[in-house]
A and B are shown apart, each in its own frame.
Chain A
Amino acid sequence: MNVHSSEAVAKGISLRQMNKFYGAFHALKDLSLDVAPGEFLVLLGPSGCGKSTALRMIAGLESISTGTLMIGDRDVTEVLPKYRDIAMVFQSYALYPHKTVAENIGFPLKVAKMPKPEMEMAVRAAAEQVELGALLDRLPGQLSGGQRQRVALARAIVRRPSVFLMDEPLSNLDAKLRGNMRAELKHMQSTLGITTIYVTHDQIEAMTLAHRVAIMKDGELEQLGTPKEVYSDPETLFVAGFMGSPPMNFIEGSIKDEVFTGPGITLEAAGQGDCRQATLGVRPEDCTVVAAGEGQLDAMVYTLEMTGDQSLVTFRAGATPLVVKMPKDFEVAPDMDAGIAFAPMSACFFNLATGQRLRPTRGTR
Chain B
Amino acid sequence: MSRGLFEPQKIGEMAPASKALLYTALVAWSLFVIFPIYWLLITSFKTPAAVNEGPFFIPWVDFQPSLHAWRELFVLDFEDTMRAYVNSIVISLSATALSVLVGSMAAYSLSRIEFAPNLITILYFVALLIGSSVAIGIYDADLWLTLAVAVALFFLLARAVGRLYTVRLGNGDILFWIISQRILAPIVVVVPIYMMFQSVRLLDTHIALILTYAVVNMPIVVWLMYDFFNSIPRDLEESAQLDGATMIMTFREIVLPLSRAGLSATTLLVMIFAWNEYLLALFLSTSRAQTLPILVAAMNAGERGILWWTMSVAIIIMIIPVVVLAVVLQKYISKGLLVGAVKG
Contact = CB atoms under 8 A, between A and B. Distances in A.
Contacts of A97: 258, 337-341
B257 to A, nearest CB: 5
A141 B341 CA distance: 7
Interface string B84-104: 000000000000000000000
B249 interface: yes
A81 interface: yes
A92 B237 CA distance: 12
A99 to B, nearest CB: 8
A60 B240 CA distance: 13
Interface stretch (A42-50, A127-135, A143-151, A316-324): A143-151
B244 A111 contact: yes
Given A96-B254, A97-B337, A111-B249, A144 B242 contact: no
A90 B244 contact: no
Contacts of B244: 82, 108, 111-112
A61 B238 contact: yes
Contact of A82 (B233, B235, B245, B258): B245
A45 to B, nearest CB: 21
A78 B338 CA distance: 33
B18 to A, nearest CB: 35
B343 interface: yes
A346 interface: no
B342 A139 contact: no
A136 to B, nearest CB: 15
Contacts of B236: 94, 96
Given A98-B257, A111-B249, A93 B343 contact: yes
Contact of A94 (B233, B245, B253, B337): B233
Contacts of A144: 344
Contacts of A159: 243
B109 interface: no
Most buried by A among B235, B236, B243, B246: B243
Given A82-B243, A98-B337, A90 B235 contact: yes
Contacts of B239: 88, 90, 94
B242 A87 contact: yes
A143 B338 CA distance: 13
B169 to A, nearest CB: 16
A86 interface: yes
B286 interface: no
Contacts of B241: 61, 81-82
Contacts of B242: 59-61, 81-82, 86-88
Interface residues of B, number: 26
Contacts of A111: 240, 243-245, 249
Contact of A92 (B249, B258, B337, B343): B343
A97 B235 CA distance: 12
B27 to A, nearest CB: 37
A310 interface: no
Nearest to A108: B243
A74 B54 CA distance: 89
A51 interface: no
Contacts of B249: 111
A66 interface: no
Given A92-B235, A96-B236, A97-B258, A140 B341 contact: yes
B36 to A, nearest CB: 41
A278 B239 CA distance: 47
Given A81-B241, A97-B258, A140 B235 contact: no
A148 B340 contact: yes
A143 B244 CA distance: 25
Contacts of A112: 244
A55 to B, nearest CB: 12
Interface in B304-344: 336-344
Nearest to A140: B340
Contacts of A148: 340, 344
A160 interface: no
A140 to B, nearest CB: 3
A107 interface: yes
A181 to B, nearest CB: 14
B240 to A, nearest CB: 7
Most buried by A among B239, B258, B344: B239
Contacts of B245: 82, 107, 111
A351 to B, nearest CB: 42
A155 B240 CA distance: 11
B235 A94 contact: yes
B344 A145 contact: yes
A43 to B, nearest CB: 18
7 contacts: A90-B239, A93-B343, A94-B341, A97-B339, A97-B341, A108-B243, A159-B243
Interface of A: 59-61, 81-82, 86-88, 90, 92-98, 107-108, 111-112, 139-145, 148, 155, 159, 172
